[in-house]
Amino acid sequence: MHISSLPNARGIGSLGKEAYEFVDFLADAGLTLWQVLPLCPTSYGDSPYQSPSALAGNPYFIDIDTLIKDKLLLPEEAPTYDIKPVDYAEIYFERYETLKKAYVRFIAKPPKAYTKFKSENSFWLDDYALFMAIKEKHDMQAWETWEDEYKHRTADMSEFDKAAEFHKFLQYEFTTQWLALKCYANSKGIKIVGDMPIYVAYDSVEVWSHPEQFMLNEDLSRKVVAGVPPDYFSADGQLWGNPLYNWDYMKSTDYSWWVMRMAMAMRLYDVVRIDHFRAFADYYEIAADRTDAKVGEWRDGPGMELFDIINDKLGDPEIIAEDLGELHDCVRELVNNTGFPGMKIMQFAFDGNPKNDFYYTNYGNNCVAYTGTHDNDTTRGWFDKLTDSEKNIVRSTLGYYGDDITAEIIDRLFSSNADTVIIPMQDFLNLSGKARMNTPSTLGGNWAWRSKPTWTRKAKTIRKLVEKYNRL
């Protein structure tokens, strides 16, 4: 359940009252993990996997009612909305203007904690705030379009100090509210599972401020980009466009950027799922001038060397490896060597093969089992779209011919050997495909689903399931 999907009257989920009520629901239901999508800011396309910063928090999630309570806003200064799918354009044009009103009052007498926050986070916050201030001056255009003195960071940047301070305030408010929510969840015995995209966006502060970490040309344009080759799902492959890491340079610095990134993640979360984990073993490199991913080369990633350093520096953080897709032996070897649990998706299990790795009876202990992920349809939506013959395969494989296929699949996952089971909230609510979070390789209508607080009525049913399979 992503933060954006929580109900409230402010147009998008926040870190306020409803988030705390959701934690209470999880505790009542006997659930001990809450997985969220990346918390970073969104930009074009609204995807949390393409962000202007890998480290910053999304200002949209700052709870407006908390700002009113703190006397930083007047109630009439904050618009209200019906609970509906997130309209990111509407929120974009309203929310920053509302937050600027709060900032004017805040900065007139900032608390000592703000000075401490800025000092402790200056290693990333200063560059991020400056980056966002320059973007605002350029109507939010990508940094590659800026004048050379801004693009190459040779200009006197002091003119942006005042504008940058607003973005520092936003990060202070986000971090304060998020850590308070996380502390509350932990006090209820609930761990937060975060999500880390392996790559960063080209139009990000990370690439702009440290181009040496990426495979770029002298003019800072992309040399090669990330993606995956053609497969059963896509004849052209997937051309993501993210710049690839300069692993040789990163190795020469003992992977200090990755250690820092993971340390930041472990401050925000208790467990981190790393998206596209396979690229640490081998990754697909595509020339930047390609218009599809048909032609590319597999390159070796940093492998176990990186995780040896992370474990040594950070004390074996809890990590989930997203190991889906067609995997080479080196990927399986890396996942095995790290000891990280991989992922099992039950929707992928019904091909008629009784030894299918995704079927619940074939799971080992060290894995995380899901009905589907944010990139899959809801289980009800998935089943509804199957042909009659495909539905028959699902029913005959399960030996179940009743009406609630979603509840049956959830029950089977809870009965499996998997140490961990995580269910999308849409499936606990048995929602149709209208509640799907994301359809990959499409623009518009994604990341917008919002829940009404009907989950409160599900707590007893879920708790019975947890108790039934001794997972309490």
Element (DSSP H or E) covering residue 330: helix 329-338
Catalytic residue among 77, 270, 357, 375: 375
If one counts every other C-beta atom within 10 angstroms of the C-beta of residue 301, the result is 20
H or E stretch including 389? helix 388-398
The verdict on whether 375 is a catalytic residue reads yes
In the Cβ-directed half-sphere of 385, how many Cα atoms lie within 13 Å?
Answer: 12
Looking at the chain, how many residues does it have? 472
3-state secondary structure of 181: helix
Residue whose C-alpha is closest to residue 394's, from 457, 386, 33: 386
Closest to 89 measured CA to CA, from 23, 140, 156? 140
Active-site residue identified among 275, 323, 377, 427:
275
Residues 6+ apart with CB under 8 A from 91: 11, 12, 60
For strands 224-228 and 319-321, give the pairing. unpaired
Amino acid at 307: F
What residues are paired with 421 via a beta bridge?
369
Helix (H) or strand (E) holding 98: helix 88-108
Residue 66 three-state SS: helix
Burial class (CB in 10 A: 0-12, 13-18, 19+), 92: middle
Identified catalytic residue from 46, 127, 203, 322: 322
Tell me whether residue 322 is one of the annotated catalytic residues. yes
Annotated active-site residue 323? The verdict is: no
Tell me phi and psi for residue 62, to 5 degrees. -60, 130
Which residues are paired to 195 by β-bridges? 273
Pair 292, 241: CB distance under 8 Å: no
| DSSP state, residue 211 | G
DSSP for 125-172, please give it.
Answer: HHHHHHHHHHHHHTTT--GGGS-HHHHTT-S-GGGGHHHHHHHHHHHH
- Alpha-carbon span 233 to 326, nearest angstrom: 11
Identify the CA nearest to 11 among candidates 103, 80, 112. 80
The SS3 of residue 225 is strand
Residues recognised as catalytic = 275, 322, 375
